[in-house]
Amino acid sequence: MTTHVIVGSGLAGAKAAQTLREEGFDGELVLIGAERERPYERPPLSKDYLQGKSEREKIFVHPPGWYGKHDVDLRLGVSATRLALDEHVVELSDGTRQPYDKLLLATGATPRRLPGPGLTLRSVEDSETLRDGLARGGRVVIVGGGWIGLEVAAAARLAGCEVTVVEPEPLPLARVLGAEVGAVFAALHREQGVVLRLGVGVASVSDHGVRLASGETVEADLVVVGIGAAPNVELARTAGLEVACGIVCDASLRTSHPDVYAAGDVAEPYHPLYGRRLRVEHWANALNGVPAAARAMLGREVVYDRLPYFFTDQYTLGMEFTGDTTGYDEVVFEGSVPEREFVVRWSRDGRMVAGMNVNIWDGVEELQNRIRADLSRS
């Protein structure tokens, strides 16, 4: 019997198992996950779930009985420790050796830390610990003004905490969205009473707060570190697969070994429209990239060329972002920035490369169509 193995039981791993079964794969299907919880979605962990507004059961990708019903051998609390490509075997932390015909690596990413204490946010347990911390009130310092840092800042303000965000860039989100849109998010958070310490890094974290690179101390009852995540590539790297930042794949999500695929946060596939490899740490990428990888595992012709897509909710601002702003030379706003109902279009060399709609819904498809058309132009 053919055996397909998926390593990583996050959204990508769970959706891969679902797609393989939906596409008619009737062989043995093994899903290996280091976490003890069955697969769940992470976006609520910094939003509704962190704010205590949604039930735990709602975060899971599938109901508890789904895996048994679909004959998926779900092995939780078990890590893949070594991959032997020549033998087509994955070695597991429980001492067993799992053979495979095709393997999908969906090992996700791990939050970067700073030396010393400070909470990070990746797992449901992290979110629950943080929620308890926010419920105690007091002073919260958040290191990092990226997506997770800002969403935690919003949750902390809604919980009544005093919040300071420390970000080495001159504006939050500047690396992803540029200064123009970074300024919109800075204004939003300042309006809500968040203190932004911009243009300065954190030198160290202690039980009493953080010391800034400038030497100044910012006291805190709780420190949250949201400085990005590193893809979990060790398994692939030590096996000899090609790894850049993530696991290098072609447009069908196949790695440098023909029987091994990668998807989700850990994958760095070639994107045919952008003409380069793109590693995307977004929910929609785990959701949509995986069916492509699963079909490729079944021998179908696949080209994964979806545009990156991300959403966030902070206070009353909801937004969808699509594309990639790298190297943009023009940014245009349409609508009302003061009323926070607007669309942003980023372009490079006269071609639209990214777009965003803020508190305007149903606009993302139009933005994506335009980006696709522009990027396809020779």
Ligand X SMILES: Cc1cc2nc3c(=O)[nH]c(=O)nc-3n(C[C@H](O)[C@H](O)[C@H](O)COP(=O)(O)OP(=O)(O)OC[C@H]3O[C@@H](n4cnc5c(N)ncnc54)[C@H](O)[C@@H]3O)c2cc1C
- Does residue 148 interact with ligand X by CB under 6 A? yes
Size, binding site for ligand X by CB under 6 A: 36
Interacting residue with ligand X among 264, 269, 323, 355 (CB under 6 A): 264
- Does residue 144 interact with ligand X by CB under 6 A? no
Tokens of 208: 């009493």
- Does residue 121 interact with ligand X by CB under 6 A? yes
Total residues found in the chain within this entry: 378
Interacting residue with ligand X among 311, 318, 333, 348 (CB under 6 A): 311
Interacting residue with ligand X among 20, 30, 38, 43 (CB under 6 A): 43
Which of the stretches 181-189, 206-214, 240-248, 310-318 binds ligand X when contact is defined by CB under 6 A?
310-318
- Does residue 13 interact with ligand X by CB under 6 A? yes
Interacting residue with ligand X among 18, 19, 98, 107 (CB under 6 A): 107
- Does residue 158 interact with ligand X by CB under 6 A? no
Which of the stretches 26-34, 174-182, 249-257, 349-357 binds ligand X when contact is defined by CB under 6 A?
26-34
Q: For residues 199 and 168, is the Cβ–Cβ distance under 8 A?
A: yes
SS3 207: coil
Q: In the bound complex, what is the minimum distance in angstroms from residue 266's beta carbon to ligand X?
A: 6
Interacting residue with ligand X among 235, 262, 278, 375 (CB under 6 A): 235
Taking CA atoms, 299 is separated from 241, 272, 302, in Å, by 20, 20, 9
Pick the closest to residue 44 from 31, 53, 35, 33 (CA basis): 53
Question: Closest CB to ligand X among 17 and 286?
Answer: 286
- Does residue 357 interact with ligand X by CB under 6 A? no
Question: Closest CB to ligand X among 268 and 281?
Answer: 281
Q: In the bound complex, what is the minimum distance in angstroms from residue 150's beta carbon to ligand X?
A: 11
State the chain's maximal CA–CA distance in angstroms: 63
Question: Closest CB to ligand X among 152 and 352?
Answer: 152
Which of the stretches 94-102, 158-166, 250-258, 308-316 binds ligand X when contact is defined by CB under 6 A?
308-316
State the pairing for strand pair 162-167/195-198. parallel
* CA 295/CA 16 separation, integer angstroms: 9
Pick the closest to residue 153 from 184, 188, 180, 125 (CA basis): 188
Interacting residue with ligand X among 62, 282, 340, 345 (CB under 6 A): 282
- Does residue 320 interact with ligand X by CB under 6 A? no
Tokens of 306: 């979806």
Pick the closest to residue 289 from 42, 16, 14 (CA basis): 16
* CA 368/CA 374 separation, integer angstroms: 10
What φ, ψ does residue 181 adopt, rounded to 5°?
A: -85, -30
- Does residue 246 interact with ligand X by CB under 6 A? no
Tokens of 5: 């193995």
* CA 342/CA 133 separation, integer angstroms: 35
* CA 157/CA 137 separation, integer angstroms: 9
Q: In the bound complex, what is the minimum distance in angstroms from residue 333's beta carbon to ligand X?
A: 22
- Does residue 108 interact with ligand X by CB under 6 A? yes
| H-helix segments, the chain | 11-22, 66-69, 124-135, 147-158, 174-191, 234-239, 283-297, 364-376
SS3 141: strand
Taking CA atoms, 10 is separated from 107, 228, 246, 263, 331, in Å, by 8, 18, 17, 11, 35
- Does residue 232 interact with ligand X by CB under 6 A? yes
Interacting residue with ligand X among 4, 9, 72, 74 (CB under 6 A): 9
Site string for ligand X, 55-84 (x = CB under 6 A): ------------------------xx----
- Does residue 167 interact with ligand X by CB under 6 A? no
- Does residue 268 interact with ligand X by CB under 6 A? no
- Does residue 146 interact with ligand X by CB under 6 A? no
Residues that bind ligand X (CB under 6 A): 7-13, 32-35, 42-43, 45-46, 79-80, 106-109, 121-122, 148, 232, 235, 264-265, 281-284, 286, 310-312
